[in-house]
Amino acid sequence: MNRIEIIKNHLLFSQLQPQPQQKQFNNNNNVLKEMENNKIKIIEYKNGCKRIILNRSEALNSLTMEMLKFLSEKLKEFNNDDNCKFVIINSSTEKSFCSGGDIKEFSQLSRSSAGVNEFIRVEYAMDHLIHTFNKPILSFVNGIVMGGGVGLSIHSSHRIIGDNVQWAMPENRIGYFPDVGTSYFLSRLGSIGLYLAMVGVKINSKDLINVKLATHYIPNELFERTLEELCNDDDIEGYRQIEFILNKYRKTLYPDKESSHLVLYQSIINRCFNNKEFKSVKEILNQLKVEIENVDNKNNKDEIEWASKTLSILLDQLCPTSVCVSFEIIKRALQMNIDQIFQMEVRVGTRLGNRQDLTQGVFKTLIDKTHKPIYSPSSIYDINQSFIDSFFLPFDDGDEKKEFSII
């Protein structure tokens, strides 16, 4: 079943919400095979479910190169396996689905162009495979999901979230950029997507439902019951039964100003991060200053405080080059398909990954935690368009092997 058919079926059955009726299963009898490799547990069930459990809880399930290679190998195997009806990806801990790529390993690889390039080509190829998978992939997400963890889940046909999601793409804080194909989705969210990409704010479960980055909300107390039924119900023959089970346990979330950051500040986000009107980062900065100084807005202290905080983050807490690259990526991605987006991201990621900004960002933010990296250029106002464009160029002759390739 291709991705379009999956989405059509999801829309068709998303309104079905029967009352949960717990079935009894003998889990031991339903497991065909179980294995663990590189902190990833694989369970294959008789009903055609292939389950991937991230099991590196001591490191918040951050992904090493070996984990990425193993995941890619298993996903490719499942995609070609006629006995595989669907795939589930979840975590062994509620604390974190996946906090992203292993920053320590990535920063070590950044010492050479080949090291960074290999890491991101492996990761992006895996994300691309998930995006184009010919069967449903269900990601059950709770707790921390950032960077590479977003990539692992956002490309799934079903993005099921619990109560405690902390979602962010904060790479601009360390001299990198929001990658793993997220620009495909964020570019299609208008001003909200540009805001999330540039500022890297953390959002919650209600925010994700509000902007449709999640497809289903299932309360924490029903997560295991839902997983158990999906993994063990012999009546599952295809997509419709999967959707029926999900809709038995899904609940409706109502985002409001008290619980959703994106609802509370939606109007001012639309004014300040209008991706159709503004042609540069400097125009966004100017609009934030207008909001702060606007006499007519003095009665809305929340918006003034938001604008002041957002301006401070952009100017004082993030890598200037990363912010400008993120703006450019979202602008370009809106006109691209997923293949083109990953090709663009490999080029940008390889070049950003080998800059001193990344070394500074990782060390000052994550190691000595002074949060005062010295970036170059040091200000957004010192960056011109030709400098930003240079990150997007094809690789030179002889370096074609660095380009993105599909697995």
Question: How high is the pLDDT of residue 110?
Answer: 84
Question: How high is the pLDDT of residue 12?
Answer: 43
Mean per-residue pLDDT pooled into runs of 10, the chain (407 residues): 48 45 57 94 97 97 97 98 97 97 89 90 98 98 98 98 98 98 98 98 97 98 97 88 96 90 96 93 97 77 94 98 99 98 98 95 88 95 98 90 90
Question: How high is the pLDDT of residue 15?
Answer: 45
Question: How high is the pLDDT of residue 25?
Answer: 44
Question: How high is the pLDDT of residue 18?
Answer: 47
Give the chain's domains with CATH numbers: 3-168+205-249 (3.90.226.10), 261-402 (3.90.226.10)
Nearest Cα neighbor of 375 from 172, 149, 211, 232 is: 172
Question: How high is the pLDDT of residue 28?
Answer: 58
